[in-house]
Chains A and B, each alone.
Chain A
Amino acid sequence: MKSYLDLIPISARVHKKQSRMTRICIILAVFLVTAIFGMADMEMRSQQLQEIKSNGNWHVLFSDIDQKTASMIAARPEVTVSGWYAYLGADAQYTVSGKSVMVAGMDKKVSDDILSMKVTEGTYPIKENEVALTQNAKLGLGIHVGDTLMLEHPDSEPEKLSVVGFVEGTSKLLKQDSYALLLTKEGFQSSIPQGQYTNQYIVQLSQYCNMKKVISDITERYKLTDKQVLQNGNLLAVLGQSDNSYVLGLYGTAAVLFVIVMLAGVLMLASSLNSNVMQRTEFFGMMRCLGATKKQIMRFVRKEGLQWCKTAIPVGVGIGTVVIWVLCAILKALAPGYFSEMPTFAISWIGILSGIAVGIFTVLLAVRSPAKKAACVSPLAAVSGNANSVHPSRTAANTTIFKVDTALGIYHATSSKKNFLLMVGSFSLSIVLFLCFSASVSFMHHAIKPLKPWTPDISLASADQTCSLSNSLIKQLQNDPKVARAYGRMFAYNIPVKSDGQNKKINLISYEDYQFSWAKDSLLSGFIDDVRQKDNQVLVVHNSDNSLHVGNKIQLKSGDKQKEITVAGLLSSSPFDNINGVTTVICSEKTFRELTGETNYTIIDVQLTDKAVDSDVDSIRSLAGSNIQLSDRRASNREVKGAFYSMALFIYGFLVVIVLITIFNIANSIAMSVSARIKQYGAMRAIGMSGHQLIKMITAEAVTYSIFGSIVGCLIGLPLHKILFEKMVTAHWGDPWQLPFGMLAIIVAVVIISSILAVHGPAKRIHKMSIVDTISAQ
Chain B
Amino acid sequence: MEILKVENLCKTYGKGETQVNALKNVSFSMEKGEFAAVVGESGSGKSTLLNCIGGLDNPTSGKVFLEGKDLFSMHEEERTVFRRRNIGFVFQSFQLIPELTVEQNIIFPILLDYQKPDPASVNEILQVLGLTERRHHLPSQLSGGQQQRVAIGRALITRPMLILADEPTGNLDSKNSQDVIDLLVKASRHYQQTILMITHNVGLTSSVDRVLRVTDGVLTDRGGIRE
Contacts and interface: CB of A to CB of B under 8 A. Distances in A.
A680 B84 CA distance: 16
B50 to A, nearest CB: 10
A700 to B, nearest CB: 13
B57 A680 contact: no
Nearest to B102: A396
B76 A408 contact: no
Contacts of B99: 393, 396-397, 408, 411-412, 415
Contacts of A397: 99-100, 104
Contacts of A685: 80
Given A404-B112, A405-B112, A688-B109, A392 B77 contact: no
A770 interface: yes
Interface string A682-694: 0111111111110
A137 to B, nearest CB: 83
A397 B105 CA distance: 11
Contacts of B58: 770
B51 to A, nearest CB: 5
A684 B112 CA distance: 10
B81 interface: yes
B154 A396 contact: no
A411 B100 CA distance: 10
B81 A687 contact: no
Contact of A404 (B51, B80, B101, B108): B108
Interface in B61-108: 76-77, 80-81, 83-85, 89, 91, 93, 95-101, 104, 108
Given A399-B104, A403-B111, A772-B56, A683 B77 contact: no
Contacts of B51: 771-772
Given A392-B98, A396-B101, A770 B57 contact: yes
Which of B54, B99, B139 has the most C-beta atoms of chain A within 10 angstroms of its own C-beta?
A: B99
Interface residues of B, number: 34
Contacts of A292: none
A690 B81 contact: yes
- Is chain A's interface secondary structure helix, strand, loop, or mixed overall? helix
A684 to B, nearest CB: 7
A775 interface: yes
Nearest to A767: B76
B83 A688 contact: yes
Interface residues of A, number: 32
Interface string A563-593: 0000000000000000000000000000000
A683 B95 contact: yes
Contacts of A395: 138
B57 A691 contact: no
Given A392-B138, A404-B112, A686 B104 contact: no
A770 B13 CA distance: 13
A687 B109 contact: yes
Interface string A247-286: 0000000000000000000000000000000000000000
Given A687-B84, A770-B58, A772-B57, A408 B109 contact: no
Contact of B95 (A394, A404, A775): A775
Most buried by B among A389, A399, A686, A689: A686
Interface string A38-75: 00000000000000000000000000000000000000
Contact of A688 (B80, B91, B136, B138): B80
A89 interface: no
Given A408-B97, A688-B80, A775-B95, A392 B56 contact: no
B56 A770 contact: yes
10 contacts: A389-B98, A392-B138, A392-B140, A393-B99, A396-B99, A396-B100, A397-B104, A687-B95, A691-B76, A770-B58
Given A393-B98, A396-B100, 15 more contacts: A392-B98, A394-B138, A396-B99, A396-B138, A405-B112, A683-B97, A686-B56, A686-B95, A687-B89, A688-B83, A688-B113, A689-B80, A771-B51, A771-B56, A775-B91
